[in-house]
Chain A
Amino acid sequence: MTKSLKNIDDVTIRFAGDSGDGMQLTGMQFTSTTALVGNDLSTLPDYPAEIRAPAGTLFGVSGFQIRFGSAEINTPGDTCDILVAMNPAALKVNLRSLRDGGIIVANTYGFNEKNLKLAGYQKNPLEDESLSKYQVHAVDITKLTQNALDDMNMSGKIVDRSKNFFALGMMYWMFTRPMDSTLNWIKDKFKKTPELIEANTRVLKAGYAFGETTEIFAVRYEVKPAALSPGKYRSITGNEATAWGLIAASVKSGLDLFLGSYPITPASDILHELSKHKNFRVKTFQAEDEIAGITSAIGASYGGALGATTTSGPGMALKSEALGLAVMLELPLVVCNVQRGGPSTGLPTKTEQADLLQAVYGRNSEAPIPVIAASTPADCFQTVFEAARIAIKYMTPVIFLSDGYLANGAEPWLIPPVNSLPDISRNFRTDPEGFFPYSRDGKTLSRPWAIPGTPGLEHRIGGLEKQHITGNVSYDPDNHEFMVKMRQAKIDGIAEDIPPAKVDGAEKGDLLVVGWGGTYGAIRTAVENKRHEGKSVYHLHLKYLNPLQKNLGDILYSFKNVLVPELNLGQLSKLLRAKYLVPTIGLNKVQGLPFKASEIEKQIDEIL
């Protein structure tokens, strides 16, 4: 039969199944291939906290959403156009994100009595009228996978594990994607077991051929490459970008990187990635707990390394005393908090932005720390690099905020030329003449970094209050107040050393939408959509959260309204109101999920 080929601008696919069905892998493979084709894209992995939740249950559903297109893509899509559901639970959980008229590809094998019951279906939805507003393609993916491997004598378990490649093959066909990248990946992944290469290759190709030959799918789609800026690209997740940004800072500063870290979702991948790159002299120390993670990094910084620690919310709470120590010691340290839903253990695998006030204020006493946040997965690279620059130049811990959405999400990244990254100068004090551990640079107010091993600079530092200049322990009241102000002035002064805030669009208008962190894509999409409708709405996205940029007040005063969408109950709003006395309007969502552009658009419509 002839199949028609339809050109579309952008499309969103959601792969969903049991947490053991390999949906994350399927999604990542589709992502790599789509990136290679030249589409712009954005992804949203959405998986349960349980490693292998009981099969067929609603809470065991793992999903991966990818939106890709021929124009700029900033979000993984509010709703999906295609839902691949491996079982009834996957259908039930994800149906609400499928747009009306969208396509369902369902694995009929998974829709057995037991699974239907687990998902709470009285009747098989594939067989009644309940899905009539969608285009349903019921395919027995498991059976077809079995058939493809019929003569290979594979165990049922292996057949079951490779069925995701059948689904992937179908999607490759439907969106006219080449299979080479995944075929190469299979070869590499299973190089020790040739029969698995054969099996997975067969299944992938069988899925593709199924699309080609059967009459179920009448249409296939083409999504033309996006008009991205020229250059060399790669696909990158936020956690990878964070790891590489730290390595880049190590290279550009000439300091060996030391990572002290305790595994925690969703930050562990940074530890995993860094532990691979020993040829950069990266030392990763999987510590006994979160506290040892940060204190070992402080010890390494004291010794002249670039100390870093990575964690997520609850781990951050454990590190707070040591953060205060780093403030007192005035040693460089990069602290990465990949935020997740909280409080306490909260929602380990879900995203949230509710650690902002913790980052800015969450320590005993007056303990100012610079805070900067990445806005997209790839932006983690530049942002953590900037965190390291500030840490070293100002001899201070710096908190780098990412979140679960950025950490696991991927996007195409225009690889920066290495020589475009600035050198980070670090000056170890070597001259004993006139050396005092707490003397200060007249401009940056930072103290000298005098590392052990340097003759003549033997000195003692610690968490007790320091006497100005000498660094000796001092309980003098005036000195304490002076030092509190000194530490604050040092951090405040960083505002002189960062680029001014820049609104995307105009200098003034009816509404300014101010965001920070991982909400960038959703805000940008919403603001652009509304501006196309002729509304006077503009976007400002903050990377620097402490100190805030010098021109921020002037910008806020130039707009009639200020809307602050955040995945918390209004933490940036509080900071802006307190500092600039502007009546911000909050748009707050705390569901463990990122914003949909439409949610922000709706709020814009209400204001304008």
Chain B
Amino acid sequence: MNRVDELLKTAKNQPAAKYTARDFQSDQDVRWCPGCGDYSILAQTQRVMPDLGIAKHNTVFVSGIGCSSRFPYYMETYGFHGIHGRAAAIASGLKIARPDLSVWVATGDGDGLSIGGNHLIHICRRNINVKILLFNNQIYGLTKGQFSPTSELGKVTKSSPYGTVDHPFNPLLVALGAEASFVARTLDRDPKHLQFVIKRAAQHKGTAFIEIYQNCNVFNDGAFFTFTEKETKDDNVVFLEHGKPMIFGKEKDKGIKLDGFTPTVVSLADGKFSPDDLIVHNEKDTMLSFILARMSSIPHLPRPVGVVYAVERPLYEAEVERQIQQAVQKQGEGNLEKLLNHGETWTIQ
């Protein structure tokens, strides 16, 4: 038995302490700009952690570079602040080496979808059990205001004084395209929903991808206010609930109906349509997940928020362990003497 296993044994003997959110606050001063959406994400994560039943010392937050990537410093867990874009790759190695740990990635639209886009899609397709919180503020904050791969077309920023000519990424479609087994969207300014989605991701067995609409009040203030503010939210967001028809609106009087493969908004007020005519959300429906993700790119449609997709499929790290167990069963525990002496050898007297 190796030292890691020995250590794990002692770790498991420790009764999981009854934590509070405070237990997950590190002693480091939080250095995001006052009013940043990151504060809420941090607070909700710290609030959810005690409910997960995972010991602090078995939890690791990994990040890359960017405002969002300061996240691990503020969590009283193990933390790894990596290099730009590589959090998903670092987390992959860690989780494969140590499947017993609960591994989280905090990343942003630049870190995760631009410089680290490659690692993001590959962790999704492999289905390594890592939880990815992607803070999407549609701007580069740490480098002070350049456009990001999710910035809307034509956006005027320091590096695009004439407006961008870049077509933006749709983060949900990227994750779904890479066949992530859990894809969700939530809002920094909706603490309850944020907590709910983080908890769902934690319970999911597989790569969980969460796009969090996060307000950068310094460089892109109000980018998501249509979806997060009281006055406009109800008419512009449809909250997804598994098995329920897609109804939204202040008066719960609007719904989403499928017209062929095209989602359309219908009124439930004039008696022409009833909830029976609407799309019933099904987290396991692959085709539906793409239609829902696509809705973000269609201006007059409400934004779907919630768990878009959640299915189970084999875990990468579990398959790796299975192959190891099989090899040990078939060939016995590795024996160095045997390895060096196997095959053709000869002796000189």
Chain A residues in the interface with B (C-beta under 8 A): 32, 35-36, 38, 181, 225, 228-235, 244, 247-248, 251, 254-256, 258, 260, 277-283, 285, 287-289, 291-292, 295-300, 302-305, 307, 321-322, 324-325, 415-416, 418, 426, 428, 430, 451-464, 472-473
A236 to chain B, nearest CB (A): 9
Q: CA–CA, A415 to B77, complex, Å? A: 46
A307 to B82, CA, bound (A): 16
- Contact B93–A452 (Cβ < 8 Å): no
CB pair B97 A256 closer than 8 Å? yes
Does residue B92 face the partner (Cβ distance < 8 Å to A)? Answer: yes
Nearest Cβ on chain A to B322's Cβ, whole angstroms: 10
| Chain-A contact segment, one of B55-63, B152-160, B228-236, B286-294 | B55-63
B89–A453 contact, CB under 8 A? no
Inter-chain contact B344/A36, CB cutoff 8 Å? yes
A283 touches B96 (CB 8 A): yes
**Using a Cβ cutoff of 8 Å, how many contacts connect chains A and B?**
231
Selected contact of A462 from candidates B58, B80, B340, CB within 8 Å: B80
Contact B58 A452 (CB under 8 A): yes
Say yes or no: A463 contacts B83, CB within 8 Å.
Answer: yes
B94 within 8 A of A: yes
Whole-angstrom distance between the alpha carbons of A230 and B348 in the complex?
Answer: 5
Contact check, A304 vs B119: say whether CB atoms are below 8 A apart: no
Q: Report the bound CA distance from A296 to B316 in whole Å.
A: 14
Q: Identify which of residues 85-107 in chain B touch chain A, using a CB-to-CB cut-off of 8 Å.
A: 86, 89-98, 100-101
Q: Which of A234, A279, A307 has the most CB of B within 10 A?
A: A279
Provide the residues of chain A in CB contact with B62, threshold 8 Å: 299
In the complex, 20 of the A-B residue pairs with CB atoms within 8 angstroms, ordered by the A residue number, are: A32-B344, A225-B348, A233-B346, A233-B348, A247-B334, A255-B4, A256-B2, A278-B323, A278-B328, A280-B334, A291-B89, A295-B83, A295-B93, A298-B93, A452-B57, A453-B58, A455-B11, A456-B57, A458-B57, A472-B28
Contacts of A181 in B (CB 8 A): 344
Interface residues of B in 1-29 (CB under 8 A from A): 2-4, 7-8, 10-11, 14, 26, 28
Give the distance to chain B from A51, nearest Cβ to Cβ, in Å.
25
Residue from A233, A277, A292 within 8 A of B118 (CB atoms): A292
Bound state CA distance, A255 and B5, in angstroms? Answer: 10
Bound complex: CA A303 to CA B94 (Å): 6
Separation in Å of the B69 CB from the closest CB of chain A? Answer: 9
B324 contacts the other chain (Cβ, under 8 Å)? yes
18 more CB-based (< 8 A) A-B contacts, given A225-B348, A460-B75: A234-B343, A278-B328, A287-B89, A292-B122, A296-B96, A297-B93, A299-B94, A300-B94, A305-B98, A307-B97, A418-B340, A428-B7, A430-B10, A451-B7, A453-B7, A453-B11, A456-B57, A457-B57
Most A C-beta atoms less than 10 A away, residue of B75, B80, B81, B101: B80
Would you call B86 and A452 a contact (CB within 8 A)? no
**Taking each of B14, B75, B97, B326, which has the highest tally of chain A beta carbons within 10 Å of its own beta carbon?**
B97
Q: Are A304 and B98 in contact (CB under 8 A)?
A: yes
Note all chain A residues with C-beta closer than 8 A to B348. 38, 225, 228-231, 233
User: Contacts A304-B3, A461-B80, A472-B28; is A258 near B97 (CB within 8 Å)?
Assistant: yes
Residues in chain B near residue A464, CB distance under 8 A: 81
Q: B333 to chain A: which residues have CB within 8 Å?
A: 279
